[in-house]
Amino acid sequence: MRQGHEAARNAGTERDLVMRLADDDSALLRRQARQVQCPVNPASEQRLAAERWFLQHGLPAVLRPGTLVRRVWYRSVPALAAFAVTMAFSIVVVSVTGKHTIDIDGSPTRTEWFILGIVVLVLPAAAVVGWLVSRAENPRVRAAISAVALAVAALSTVFGGPSAFIVVDVIVEGVVIVAILLCTATGIGSILGWAVRVTLANLASAGSMLLRALPVMLLTVLVFFNGPVWTMASTVSRARLWMALLFLFLIAAAFLVSSTLGRVRPILQPEAKQPEDAEKLTGTPFETLPDRPRRVPLSKAEQANVVFVVALSQIVQVLTVAVVTGLLFLTLGLILVSPEMLAGLTGNGSSDGQLLGMTLPIPDALIQVTMFLTSLTFMYLAARAVGDKEYRGQYLDPLIDDLRLTLVARDRYRTATAAR
């Protein structure tokens, strides 16, 4: 009897073991079935990488319709982070000064020097933070950064912001956030982000461009110490000066755009495609995508986007050097222009100036002279860029080569997405 019970118990144990193994096998099969039903699509990942590549190069018009409105919040996180940096600086300013405006006149105190340092650092800090955040590809990391950015913006409505009224701060910051999302959804944000990256990259080559600007700097030194120029700067209104600067900027930009059109139009033609251009796509998301022997003509939006990006690249490069030159003149003026000299040049003009709604301990006439000389430098460099062969070989030809690469990538992207 005892042996019979032991045999029955052993048989039950074996049945339980078999059933447990069967359950484990069923669970494993179910997991495998789910993996088969929801595979990772390499083609989809490659397409996302290709779309990111075009956005990073400031070419949103190349993307298929509907692409820009996807993942808008994810792509807006760098701009939101940069905006949060400016709001954090506003919290610091309000905490230190107790005021929502910057008003520094006369000789700055230690606290006011600290505020001036914040004014100088806020834009570079925001640009660097936005660039660092743009390098983060993990969605969870970007979600955490966006939450922190919104928290900082919410705190700034109470402890900082442009106004002492919370309702006004909420409205202003809400408008800014909505504008960021709209710029991202329309592709404007990708072009602005690309322009910021180009500006930072151009700072490395500003030295060689400054050497080319040296002749005009020597000439404008004479203008800098010209009495009638200072009289004009001390009497003309800021609005009228901005109109004059815009007029000069449009003239110089027209030179650059006309030159760019002459170089870009032949490359946009369908027969301009060359086999050796495809070799440059190695290491890009387009390396393994199918290609076509003849380029499909670009749409009007694509043509405008391509010409705009190439022209804007030159404008940003020349403008960067002009602004650096203007800062040199501003520094020179702060060193040389004493109160007695300022009184003689401007007829007892004010020793304080207004800039972007801030009162700064910089003579208003010096600010306006610097703005005027910056515009003259920009015009000179723009005219030099159109006719200088050395400039074209060093700066414009690489842009044209990048454009050829972009158009080949566009052809492969269009071919791959049209086949799906």
Compute the average pLDDT of residues 34-41. 37
Query: Given a cut of 80, is residue 331 above it in pLDDT?
Result: yes
Residue 254 one-letter amino acid: A
Nearest C-alpha neighbor of 251 from the set 376, 115, 116, 123: 376
User: Quick one: pLDDT at residue 402?
Assistant: 80
Structure tokens at 340: 């007695």
Alpha-carbon distances of 266 from 272, 300, 386, 410, rounded to whole Å = 7, 15, 18, 17
The predicted model scores a pTM of 0.71
State the pLDDT confidence band at 292, using cuts at 50, 70 and 90. confident
CA 136 – CA 141 distance, rounded (Å): 7
pLDDT digits (tens, 9 = 90+) for 113-127: 888 888 888 888 888
User: Quick one: pLDDT at residue 33?
Assistant: 36
User: Quick one: pLDDT at residue 7?
Assistant: 46
Alpha-carbon distances of 242 from 173, 236, 327, 329, rounded to whole Å = 27, 10, 18, 19
CA 162 – CA 180 distance, rounded (Å): 18
Instruction: Give the CA dihedral 27, 32, 36, 38, nearest 10 degrees.
Output: 60
Residue 355, helix vs strand vs coil: strand
CA 126 – CA 129 distance, rounded (Å): 5
Compute the average pLDDT of residues 205-216. 64
CB 399 within 8 A of CB 391: no
Compute the average pLDDT of residues 367-379. 87
**379 contacts: CB under 8 Å, gap ≥ 6:** 248, 251, 252
pLDDT digits (tens, 9 = 90+) for 128-159: 888 888 888 888 888 899 899 999 988 888 88
Max CA separation in the chain (angstroms): 125
Residue 100 one-letter amino acid: H
User: Quick one: pLDDT at residue 39?
Assistant: 38
**284 contacts: CB under 8 Å, gap ≥ 6:** 53, 409
Compute the average pLDDT of residues 326-343. 83
**29 contacts: CB under 8 Å, gap ≥ 6:** none
CA 389 – CA 318 distance, rounded (Å): 16
pLDDT digits (tens, 9 = 90+) for 188-202: 888 888 877 777 776
> Taking CA 410 as the corner, what is the angle to CA 269 and CA 412, rounded to the nearest 5 degrees?
110
Residue 241 one-letter amino acid: L
Query: Given a cut of 70, is residue 19 above it in pLDDT?
Result: no
Compute the average pLDDT of residues 91-113. 80
Residue 296 one-letter amino acid: V
Residue 354, helix vs strand vs coil: strand
